[in-house]
Amino acid sequence: MVSVGTVVWLSSELMFFAALFAMYFTLRAAAPEMWATESAKLNVPFALINTIILVSSSFSCQMGVFRAEDLKPRRTGGLFNFKEWGMVEWFILTFILGAIFVSVQAYEYTELVHHGVALNSNAYGSAFYMTTGFHGLHVAGGLIAFLLVIGRAYIARNFGHFEATSAIVTSYYWHFVDVVWIALFAIIYFLK
């Protein structure tokens, strides 16, 4: 029941991002010369590394889901024995990777503001910060969700399907946000 609701909600989230894409392309069509000059200021290799970090967090998240489905919340081996990791360890790794993504993006924002691309500078700045910013807020929300799920795993004496379900739906959300970023990245940094 929880997972059906999550998928329906995520499909509506897809339309939210569709509206942001529509905004981006509307402004791009209205001011193509601005897009040419402003998008040249983007640091593509830097953003590519950040993208790889976010995509890898999706894999660690999925490993955590597999452990949650095995009803294995905590590791049974040493800290670096990845095979014996439980859901909590994989989700903490996911949290760290997601936090790096958001931090690097914040750093990228400061760099761009120094180069004169700000939210209030022009249409390109508005489109760039609204699209990537709303995505960043989604990532930050996902990080909070991971903390809550990890907390549930710690608080439960018997890790059961109640805890596993919340872990699984959080992973749905995380994968969704990840896929949206890949689309955003392709549009903003490559299509330009």
The residue (of 119 and 187) whose beta carbon lies closer to another protein is 187
- Considering the complex, state which of residue 139 and residue 150 has its C-beta at the smaller distance from another protein: 150
Three-state DSSP class for 79? coil
Q: Which is nearer to another protein, 22 or 52 (CB)?
A: 22
Closest by CA position to 115, among listed 134, 128, 102, 103: 128
- d(CA 119, CA 133) in angstroms, rounded, equals 10
- Tell which one of 52, 148, 182, 186 touches another protein (CB under 8 A): 148
Size of interface with another protein, in residues (CB under 8 A) = 31
- Cα gap 127→181, rounded to integer Å: 15
**Considering the rule CB under 8 A, would residue 25 count as an interface residue with another protein?**
yes
Residues 159-178 touching another protein, rule: CB under 8 A, are 160, 162, 165-166
Cα distance between residue 103 and residue 112, in whole Å: 14
Which of these ranges, 51-59, 82-90, 94-102, 150-158, lies near another protein under the rule CB under 8 A?
Answer: 150-158
- Identify the CA nearest to 101 among candidates 181, 9, 188: 181
Cβ–Cβ under 8 Å, residues 164 and 69:
yes
Under the binding rule (CB under 8 A), the answer on residue 42 touching another protein is no
Nearest one of 168, 138, 47, 146 to 94, comparing CA atoms: 146
Per CB under 8 A, the list member of 48, 137, 156, 182 interacting with another protein is: 156
Q: Do 42 and 189 contact (CB within 8 A), yes or no?
A: yes
Match 């601005």 to its residue by tokens. Answer: 34
Restricted to residues 3-22, the positions that interact with another protein (CB under 8 A) are 3-4, 7-8, 10-12, 14-15, 17-18, 21-22
Nearer to another protein, 116 or 141 (CB): 141
Q: Which stretch binds another protein (CB under 8 A): 55-63, 102-110, 118-126, 145-153?
A: 145-153
Among residues 189, 180, 191, the alpha carbon closest in space to that of 43 is found at: 189
Please give the residue ranges that form the binding site for another protein (CB under 8 A): 1-4, 7-8, 10-12, 14-15, 17-18, 21-22, 25-26, 28-29, 144, 148, 151-152, 155-158, 160, 162, 165-166
